[in-house]
A = this chain, B = another copy of it.
Amino acid sequence: MPRTRVTRLREYQVCDRSALDALLDETRVGHIGFTADEDPDGYPVVIPTAIARDADVILVHGSTGSRWMRTVAKGAPACLAVTALDGVMVARSAFESSFHYRSAVIFGSFERLEGDAKARALDVLTDKLIPGRRDEIRPPSKKELSKTMVLALQIEKWSLKISDGWPSDGADDLAGSAWAGVVPLVERAGVPIAAPDLRSDIPVPQSVSALALR
């Protein structure tokens, strides 16, 4: 059984579900771990993929031809890591230097969604990745839906670690002259760049402007 109790740095463990949801909702990509089954022994594989939370499940999607999705869709044990790097923590020694981070690990098995549940899940994914975009574009076609696989992972067995404190240097280092503090790291969106084949009369839509401002 996967363990979700943090055994080291126990003070970093956060059991507040709303802190988990905040991390899941603001992070675009998670890393899924599973055991490749093409070989009798198997071996671990980690794949990055877009994530969106829908209440108590995490949704991922991809092509029906995707090898990793087909493997994970069989319901084998999987692990999803969702990580935000919030800053570089600069201590007075290399040893105490670290990061500000939020790190969630969710264990479970993915379940394949079909029909209306799948169509709805794709809307949730689009709303997460480009909020407001669905109002500006046509809905997915039947052909597109049939080419897309959607998997859902229940948020049941999870752990969350948050490091957001100050360096804990010892007395000798405190008495010295080295600097200590934090350099925050933030993901910023730049100015939208139109595709070369975009007609010049089509302005940047609201969803894209909002993404750039986020």
A-side interface residues toward B, CB under 8 Å?
Answer: 1-3, 7-8, 28-29, 31-36, 38-39, 42-48, 50, 63, 65-67, 77-81, 83, 85, 87-88, 90, 92-95, 97, 99, 101, 103, 105, 107, 122, 126, 129-130, 133-134, 136-138, 140-141, 144, 147-148, 166-167, 173-174, 176-198, 202-205, 207-208, 211-212
Contacts and interface: CB of A to CB of B under 8 A. Distances in A.
Contacts of A189: 88, 183-186
Nearest to A81: B46
Interface SS of A by simple majority: mixed
Given A83-B29, A95-B140, A188 B190 contact: no
A48 B79 contact: no
A181 B208 contact: yes
A179 B167 contact: no
B198 A179 contact: yes
